[in-house]
Amino acid sequence: MKQKKIVDVKSKVDADSSIGNLPEKKFRAGAISATVWLNKGTKTTGEEATFRTISLDRSYTDAEGNWHNSRTFRIHDLPKVQLLMQEAYKHLVFAQQDLFKGV
């Protein structure tokens, strides 16, 4: 049985960028990807806050060969989804620990 390879793609988040929010981290297993986003917002107290979200996508090509993304998954995609969510969760836990290093 062949092992599935998880590709880890890193991108810096540029808070001052005019092109929008860039991914903090992207994990990929075949056609499935999990992307971790670093978001900025404001708490109800008026303080600035950062929080992370995760998006899941499945890439596919149509009959004409054009690439598309879907947020729906087939039953055989679920093991990859589970694996990628574990990797994303691990990244989030370690990122959370890094926040408290200087405290």
- Mean pLDDT of all residues in 65-79: 97
1 falls within a domain:
no
pLDDT band at residue 90 under the 50/70/90 scheme: very high
**Into how many domains does the chain fold?**
1
Structure-model confidence comparison of residues 16 and 80, the more confident one = 80
Structure-model confidence comparison of residues 61 and 51, the more confident one = 61
Q: What is the mean pLDDT of the chain?
A: 83
Adjacency order of strands within the sheet including 7-10? 7-10, 23-29, 32-42, 48-61, 67-70
2 falls within a domain:
no
62 falls within a domain:
yes
Structure-model confidence comparison of residues 66 and 9, the more confident one = 66
Distance CA 76, CA 14 (A): 36
